[in-house]
A and B are shown apart, each in its own frame.
Chain A
Amino acid sequence: MTAVSSGDCWSCGTPPAGRYCGTCGVELAAHGGTWQDTVYLGPRNAALYRRAPREIRALIPVLLEPFRHLDAIAPARWRNVALTAVMGIAPLGFVSFFERVHDPIDAFRVLGLYFSALWALFFASAFRATGIRWRLGLGAYFGTTFVAMTLLLVSLALNVELIRAPLVVAKNVWIAIPSAIAFIGFPEELTKALVLFAIWRFAGPLPPLRAFLFYGLISGLGFGIKEGVHYQLGPYAAAASRTGAFAPFYLESVLRLTSLPFFHAVWTGIAAWLIWFAARIPSARAGLLVLAVMIPATFHGLYDALVDRSPGLALVVVGSSIVLLGIYAASAAQFERWFGLEVDDDDGVAVPVTTAEAGSAAAVVAAR
């Protein structure tokens, strides 16, 4: 190689200021004076077994450097790393443990809890919920699964099941749909909303809207997962062992841990959104509370009535409910302005309104 002591850098063209280029770091004297200088590695240096050890020696200090600054990593980042590790490892740990102790029943339950945690993390991230109290979140989940669902089961046992059974499976769709809304949607959505009423009345100051929405999603999630595990261990397992068809069992089980709990969560999320505004606006409380139960109940009942008759239409129904929740969640701040409330999170859309228009909706409601 011929050394050059003057002229621009052979790699990037920067004027030289020393032995090495200050912009790209190449050794200026390494220039061989040929058109291949930017890529030619030399007759001996190109071999992998020569390059790799030399480069690894140079890389090791750099790769070890972060371990000297562990305290510079923010606690939130550590929490995310730990959560990611736990969520990735947990299923293997659970399955290994429950296989060893020959306890598949509890394995189904624990995996249901695992999927609940997975969904909860997704909701917290997707809806960018702030001000969440995890204790309240756990309360929403277990309050629904243990208390509210027990109340629902008691109600069903007190002849509600007897009355609704022939109606919701009626062949006539005009009987089945209203029956599903009245006897499935309404009681189940009311059940999931109970914990939200409890948070509103007994959990101190009303949480911020996004946090309340999160509690609603978690309440619905708890209902969906508990119901799903019940179906897995009961009717699905019985059908699989009777017929030997395990593919439907597997596929239905997956649905019971993924889409169906998600649908429940979305419907309760809509309820939470409306209940939050009901709590903040006494003059519109009755209307908002009726809507908080009836809108999710209608979606729920329509979905249940249509899913076996017309799956496409059922998907349209549930898709509409997801879009509705998304639009309402994104427009939360705007609704707060329209109702004359203080905006607790101004993220999302903001429709330009005049000062006179702002709060006019609240004024109209108050005047009635």
Chain B
Amino acid sequence: MTAGSASSTTARTCAHCGLPASTTFCVACGADVGGASFPIVHTSSVVAELMRGVSLGGGGAPGFWTFAHGTPVLGTLYWLFWLPLPPVSLGIAVYLFFNGNRIALQRRRYRDPQHFRDVERAWAIAGGVLLGPTLFATLVWAVATLAFLAHAGLLK
């Protein structure tokens, strides 16, 4: 966590609660100078470092990883679209590959950073194992679909 000092602004009346305020955010209600409440959360350095990494577990096994990391809606969408619209599912996998660590930290509690690494390493192994077969199955499915459409004369 970064140590900061109370930023002082000129004395004013809070636009939200009406109490006297002299800081950027009202200490009584948390509203900013305009009266809106959008706190600026400072991400700790260890969290920031973890979020910069990619998530092989999220990207390689999105159909399972999502349900274990508090994003069941995304996981359901992944399975729903896998057959009719594979690009959507691939998009979800790519999104989770790059954003999986952030999502995991936002939605699942870990004891400490090491616990996070251990859990996600296990998921990375699972993702690595599943990634190849998933891509292969998607490719086969896409080719089969194209062949069917061509056979039916729906492709020109």
Q: What is the CA–CA distance of A9 and B109 in the complex, to the nearest angstrom?
A: 21
Query: Closest CB of chain A to B31's CB: distance in Å?
Result: 8
Q: What is the CA–CA distance of A25 and B23 in the complex, to the nearest angstrom?
A: 10
Task: Give which listed residue, B32, B36, B112, contacts A35 with CB less than 8 A.
Answer: B112
A364 adjacent to chain B (CB < 8 Å): no
Q: Could you tell me if B6 and A15 are in contact, using CB atoms closer than 8 angstroms? A: yes
Within 8 A of A (CB), among B117-137: none
Q: What residue in chain B is nearest A30 (Cβ atoms)?
A: B39
B1, B5, B24, B38: residue with the most chain A Cβ atoms closer than 10 Å: B1
Q: Could you tell me if B39 and A19 are in contact, using CB atoms closer than 8 angstroms? A: no
A9, A22, A61: residue with the most chain B Cβ atoms closer than 10 Å: A22
B6, B21, B73: residue with the most chain A Cβ atoms closer than 10 Å: B6
Question: Chain A's interface: helix, strand, loop or mixed, by majority?
Answer: loop
B90 adjacent to chain A (CB < 8 Å): no
Q: Mark B2-39, 1 if CB is under 8 A from A, else 0.
A: 11111100000000000001111111111110111111
Task: Give which listed residue, A11, A12, A40, A61, contacts B36 with CB less than 8 A.
Answer: A61
- A62-B30 CB under 8 A given contacts A24-B42, A26-B39: no
Query: Closest CB of chain B to A134's CB: distance in Å?
Result: 38
Q: Could you tell me if B24 and A25 are in contact, using CB atoms closer than 8 angstroms? A: yes
B154 adjacent to chain A (CB < 8 Å): no
Residues of chain B lying within 8 A (CB to CB) of residue A9: 4
Q: Could you tell me if A24 and B107 are in contact, using CB atoms closer than 8 angstroms? A: no
Query: Closest CB of chain A to B19's CB: distance in Å?
Result: 9
Interface 9-mer from B43-51, B58-66, B92-100, B144-152: B43-51
Q: Mark B106-118, 1 if CB is under 8 A from A, else 0.
A: 1101101100000
Residues of chain A lying within 8 A (CB to CB) of residue B46: 35
Interface residue tally of chain A, by bracket? 35 or more
Q: Could you tell me if B36 and A20 are in contact, using CB atoms closer than 8 angstroms? A: no
B155 adjacent to chain A (CB < 8 Å): no
Q: Could you tell me if A26 and B30 are in contact, using CB atoms closer than 8 angstroms? A: yes
Query: Closest CB of chain A to B53's CB: distance in Å?
Result: 14
Q: Could you tell me if B105 and A25 are in contact, using CB atoms closer than 8 angstroms? A: no
Q: What is the CA–CA distance of A43 and B37 in the complex, to the nearest angstrom?
A: 22
Q: Could you tell me if A17 and B73 are in contact, using CB atoms closer than 8 angstroms? A: no
A259 adjacent to chain B (CB < 8 Å): no
Residues of chain B lying within 8 A (CB to CB) of residue A34: 109
Q: What residue in chain A is nearest B28 (Cβ atoms)?
A: A18
Q: Could you tell me if B70 and A43 are in contact, using CB atoms closer than 8 angstroms? A: yes
Q: What is the CA–CA distance of A68 and B106 in the complex, to the nearest angstrom?
A: 37
Q: Could you tell me if B1 and A38 are in contact, using CB atoms closer than 8 angstroms? A: yes
Within 8 A of B (CB), among A306-349: none
Query: Closest CB of chain A to B147's CB: distance in Å?
Result: 36
Q: What is the CA–CA distance of A47 and B102 in the complex, to the nearest angstrom?
A: 14
Q: Could you tell me if A11 and B42 are in contact, using CB atoms closer than 8 angstroms? A: yes
A227 adjacent to chain B (CB < 8 Å): no
Residues of chain B lying within 8 A (CB to CB) of residue A62: 34, 36
Q: What is the CA–CA distance of A23 and B3 in the complex, to the nearest angstrom?
A: 11
A71 adjacent to chain B (CB < 8 Å): no
Residues of chain A lying within 8 A (CB to CB) of residue B35: 61
Residues of chain A lying within 8 A (CB to CB) of residue B23: 17, 22-23
A39 adjacent to chain B (CB < 8 Å): yes
Task: Give which listed residue, B25, B26, B105, contacts A36 with CB less than 8 A.
Answer: B105
Task: Give which listed residue, A17, A27, A36, contacts B30 with CB less than 8 A.
Answer: A27
Residues of chain A lying within 8 A (CB to CB) of residue B24: 22-23, 25
Residues of chain A lying within 8 A (CB to CB) of residue B102: 39
Query: Closest CB of chain A to B52's CB: distance in Å?
Result: 13
- A13-B30 CB under 8 A given contacts A24-B42, A26-B39: no
A255 adjacent to chain B (CB < 8 Å): no
Q: What is the CA–CA distance of A22 and B14 in the complex, to the nearest angstrom?
A: 12
Q: Residues on A close to B: CB < 8 A?
A: 8-27, 34-36, 38-41, 43, 46-49, 58-59, 61-62, 65
Query: Could you pull out 22 A-B pairs where Cβ atoms are within 8 angstroms?
Result: A11-B1, A11-B40, A12-B40, A12-B42, A13-B4, A14-B6, A19-B27, A19-B29, A20-B28, A21-B30, A22-B24, A22-B26, A23-B4, A25-B37, A36-B105, A36-B109, A36-B110, A40-B107, A40-B109, A41-B107, A46-B106, A58-B37
Additional A-B contact list (4), CB under 8 Å, known A12-B1, A22-B24: A8-B3, A11-B42, A36-B47, A58-B38
